[in-house]
Amino acid sequence: MNIGIFSGSFDPVHIGHVILANYIAEFTEIEEVWFLVSPCNPLKAGSNLSDEHIRYEMVKLALEKYTKLKASDFEFHLPKPSYTINTFDALQEKYPKHNFTLIIGSDNWTTFENWREYDKILDNYKLKVYPRLGHRITIPNKVRNRVEALDSPIIEISSTFIREHIAEGKDIRAFLPDDVYDYILQKGIYK
């Protein structure tokens, strides 16, 4: 099975994440998109993330109506920090019959050479790069057989924006799946 790996903090997961993953599952050869909730991001050291289990629960709530989108806590069981190459190698070992593709934004693609063992990722796995405002997608000829620029919708919603405005008491339910918004209010997250 062709699995797209969409890894992130998802603090919180929002409709932009869901729209993008749904697009990939419906309009590419990817059969399922797994949302890997990262316990910590080595490139965002020192950030104040919400508890990983709360973020995972929000992702599960956001995806429960989608058959091709799955929540995953796979990285919770790996050494921290979570380096993409280690995660992908562990996924491939656990699920040898699946083909894994990394899904990243064009903002991350522009700094991809800063990732640990980025060349090994490129040698062993495929990537799909989705557009983000202000970041052009340029793919060198030598990796075009492994890296694809997507023509997916651009939805510029930021988890930071959501957290800040929930803390201010603003009603921003339109940016979040209904069950996620209700969960945030019920648990008092970001207050």
- What is the predicted pLDDT for the residue at 70? 98
- What is the predicted pLDDT for the residue at 82? 83
Mean pLDDT estimate for the chain: 95
Q: Domain spans of the chain?
A: 2-154
Does residue 19 register a pLDDT over 80? yes
How many CA atoms lie less than 13 Å away from 71 in the CB half-sphere?
19
Where is 18: in which H helix or E strand?
helix 15-27
User: Whose structure tokens read 């491939």?
Assistant: 92
Each residue's pLDDT tens digit, 85-143: 999 999 999 999 999 999 999 999 999 999 999 999 999 999 999 999 999 999 999 99
Band the pLDDT of 48: cuts 50, 70, 90: confident
Cα separation, 29 vs 68, whole angstroms = 12
Whole-angstrom CA distances from 1 to 14, 87, 97, 144, 158 are 26, 18, 7, 22, 31
The DSSP output letter for 173 is G
**Fold of the domain spanning 2-154:** Rossmann fold (3.40.50)
Cα separation, 143 vs 65, whole angstroms = 35
Does residue 44 register a pLDDT over 80? no
Residue 34, helix vs strand vs coil: strand
Q: What is the pTM of this model?
A: 0.94
Under 8 Å between Cβ of 83 and 42: yes
User: Whose structure tokens read 């209010």?
Assistant: 185
